[in-house]
Amino acid sequence: KAGVTQTPRYLIKTRGQQVTLSCSPISGHRSVSWYQQTPGQGLQFLFEYFSETQRNKGNFPGRFSGRQFSNSRSEMNVSTLELGDSALYLCASSSVPRYDTEAFFGQGTRLTVV
Amino acid sequence: GENVEQHPSTLSVQEGDSAVIKCTYSDSASNYFPWYKQELGKGPQLIIDIRSNVGEKKDQRIAVTLNKTAKHFSLHITETQPEDSAVYFCAASSGSARQLTFGSGTQLTVLP
């Protein structure tokens, strides 16, 4: 069974640009969550999607957005990139959107903003 | 919101010794506490979890204990091996705050 797939693995963008990251959950999983990982702030929750609906959102500015498609694949978008957006962006999928259901993480997308 | 503190930030042990990582949380409503292991270049992987109706859970060399009164939980790894070297994260969540709140991580190094 294939795991969570995130593309691309690495990205370099210029300040002010926008970026879109993609996540394909484990087959059959319908809940997708996104996290930002930085050395300074650690792992922080961005948002959660289930059945194409955002169910929960973390404390991030509106420049961070996401969506989920009918096949459960998800994308997140960051507009007007800032240097501080450089991070590892992790996607996690779960079979159901319960708070105590195992979350399976992908390998992440390493975003560097220059 | 929830706040999870994790200690120590780095931990070195000799192969075969035990390792203990401790976390405290602030939200008394939290009732799910997973532990993740993250190896270099990989995403976090769940290694064990515990729910608030259980005080201790064990899986081979790994065990987790939970003290709800004191709001702290700990990861215990016995008979450590070099492949246990990684960053370990604790986390907490609840039915009301469904997202995982993570601790700051512990870099565990097992010396051969």
Check: CB of residue B108 under 8 Å from CB of residue B81. no
Note the pLDDT of residue B98.
Answer: 72
Distance CA A24, CA A61 (A): 24
Cis upstream peptide for A8 (omega within 30°): yes
Instruction: Indicate yes or no: CB of A103 within 8 angstroms of CB of B46.
Output: yes
**B3 contact residues in A (CB cutoff 8 A):** none
Mutation target for B interface from A54, A100, A109: give the one with most B CBs within 10 A: A100
Distance CA A93, CA A90 (A): 10
Query: Nearest-CA distance from A1 to chain B in Å?
Result: 16
For A5-50, write each residue's pLDDT tens digit. 999 999 999 999 999 999 999 999 999 999 999 998 999 999 999 9
Q: Identify which of B6, B27, B101, B45 has the alpha carbon closest to the alpha carbon of residue A104.
A: B45
Query: Nearest-CA distance from A63 to chain B in Å?
Result: 20
Instruction: Indicate yes or no: CB of B93 within 8 angstroms of CB of A42.
Output: no
Residue B95: pLDDT above 80?
Answer: no
Query: Nearest-CA distance from B99 to chain A in Å?
Result: 7
Note the pLDDT of residue A1.
Answer: 65
Mean pLDDT estimate for chain B = 94
Residue type, B21: I
Question: Which pLDDT band, with edges at 50, 70 and 90, does A102 fall under?
Answer: confident
In chain B, the residue whose alpha carbon lies closest to the alpha carbon of A48 is B99
Nearest to A105 among B31, B45, B51 (CB): B45
Query: Nearest-CA distance from B4 to chain A in Å?
Result: 11
Question: Which pLDDT band, with edges at 50, 70 and 90, does B84 fall under?
Answer: very high
For B6-50, write each residue's pLDDT tens digit. 999 999 999 999 999 999 999 999 999 999 999 999 999 999 999
Q: What angle do CA A50, A42, A64 make, to 5 degrees?
A: 45
Note the pLDDT of residue B97.
Answer: 62
What are the backbone angles phi and psi of residue A84, rounded to the nearest 5°? -70, -5
Cβ neighbour number for residue A104 with a 10 Å cutoff = 19
